[in-house]
Structure 1
């Protein structure tokens, strides 16, 4: 290995998506983080990715230009750039004959939903699509991407996350708050400030949920993440990632490899290097 390779290698980390996977089903975590089995993103997931990218570009523009018409104009080139980087997406998404124009129109509706929730001309975020990383005192490395970080002149922090699905119910709400607490913990450890607000923006339903964490809650959540990572490490040594059957299995791409459905997992390849915590843009577009 060269010195350059050593520099770019990254320690295995825990991301909010992978932590949620392990909580939901340890075998799902293995399939995604260790085996890295391919998954075909849904039209809704890819649409969410495009909408996230458009909103990021929107905030890079002067405030006066952050209007719905500008956002709509960004849709087609954003989709073109995505298919340039991943040309297989167009074939996968529209193999059934559905119209790209209708799909882009549905993305435009989500953007319109965003503009009903806030006026981006009045905001100046500190960052969009921000990579954050922090090592806990226990040694657990946390890593994730924040959709948007707002910081007030007085120092208060707001974490904003765009959701392009429907407003959450039951499991979905718990998963969304888990993700936001993850970001709040990382920011607290990085900056020494507990975020004043965690804001989830559901563009489809045109609803927002706001949550205010406190230091005691984040300390408890930190212990939860440490326990999850310890469990991951125990499974990593042996390859014993067990399935946890639930109604969420209906949405899993990997039933053919799951013992709970009569399948056989691939041979365990060992703990992955350099990083088992990587999130894709699809992970963050739900």
Structure 2
């Protein structure tokens, strides 16, 4: 059965793969190494922090009785949630340094616009989720352990499963869409292996422009995707043994905190510390922000 845990709980430190870390390795093996093995600090962006705030408000909104899940209730949750999150994460102050930093009213208004867009896409008073911010973990027949967090899980009386993910950015073009579906197929595999049911629908809600993307997987596709995840993990293990985590330069490098130490740009990363004896998926609160 699935397991739920608080969003900030530290999962058991067994070797595992999460959707964010699998995406990191696909994007750039060196990025994976610096995040998972070296554990170098990174500065959160305002967009990431806002994403966490909006996710928190939506999670708390669904803790209300259905008839109380309206725009006014969401608005009332916004400021207390921000006060609490900001106190828990003093390191976020860095994201608000600088002359262009928004005032508190401006910042909350930017999050409010995303919440308003959510109500254009769904009426939460009509929904009965089984869980929000659900921690899932399973092990494939290959021995690969998968874990991650699902924003919302809807289960119909007949047993049909819908996985819902909130995205606080805009609906992506083809490349970004493939990355988003990679994450959702990951969750679909985990749920299929845990419950023996292929999710009927994977649904992404893009709050920046009030768009949505839905996808219906099938069992053959999920079997193929399992093989993809196994191949990614084997590639990670080979890189871990050799220490050969090569950079993969792309346009995304401009947003990477580690660009100054990347060999592709003339930098030098720390000496490889070796493959750790214990390696978790290291899914962080920032990974669940969008």
TM-score w.r.t. length of structure 2: 0.93
Give the equivalent residue in structure 2 for 1:4. none
Of stretches 244-253 and 202-211 in structure 1, the one that deviates more from structure 2 is: 244-253
SS of structure 2 residue aligned to 1:271: coil
- 1:90 to partner: Cα distance: 3.0
1:67 aligns with 2:67: no
Alpha-carbon distance in 1 for matches of 2:219, 2:94: 48
Where do 5+ consecutive residues of structure 1 fail to align? Answer: 1-7
C-alpha distance 62-9 of structure 1, shift in aligned 2 (>3 A): closer
CA pair 80-233 structure 1, distance change in 2 beyond 3 A: same
Indicate which of 198, 204, 215 corresponds to 2:219.
215
- Which residue in the other structure is 2:30 paired with? 27
Cα distance change of structure 1 residues 158 and 242 upon mapping to structure 2, 3 Å threshold:
same
Shift of 1:91: 4.5
- What is the SS of the residue equivalent to 1:241? coil
- Residues 1:224 and 2:228 aligned together: yes
Match of 1:238 among 220, 238, 242: 242
Residue pairs, 1:171-190, within 5 angstroms:
171-190=175-194
Cα distance per residue 1:111-159 (max 9 Å; x no partner): 0000010100001100000000110000000000000000000000000
Alignment partner of 1:256: what SS? Answer: helix
- Are the counterparts in 2 of residues 94 and 100 from structure 1 also a CA contact under 8 Å? no
Residue 8 of structure 2 corresponds to none
Counterpart residue number, 1:101: 105
Q: Deviations over 1:178-200 (max 9, x none)?
A: 00000000000000000000000
158, 166, 184: which is aligned to 2:170?
Answer: 166
Partner of 2:6: none
Counterpart CA distance in 1 for 2:192 and 2:83 is 37
* 1:9 Cα deviation from its structure 2 partner: 4.7
Assess, with a 3 A threshold, how the Cα gap between structure 1 residues 46 and 218 changes in structure 2: closer, same or farther. Answer: same
TM-score normalised over the length of structure 1: 0.95
SS of 1:159's equivalent in the other structure is strand
1:187-206 equivalence runs, <5 A: 187-206=191-210
Q: Distance in 2 between matches of 1:274 and 1:139?
A: 15
Asked whether 1:111 is paired with 2:111, we answer no
Distance 1:152 1:165, change over 3 A: same
Count the aligned residue pairs.
279
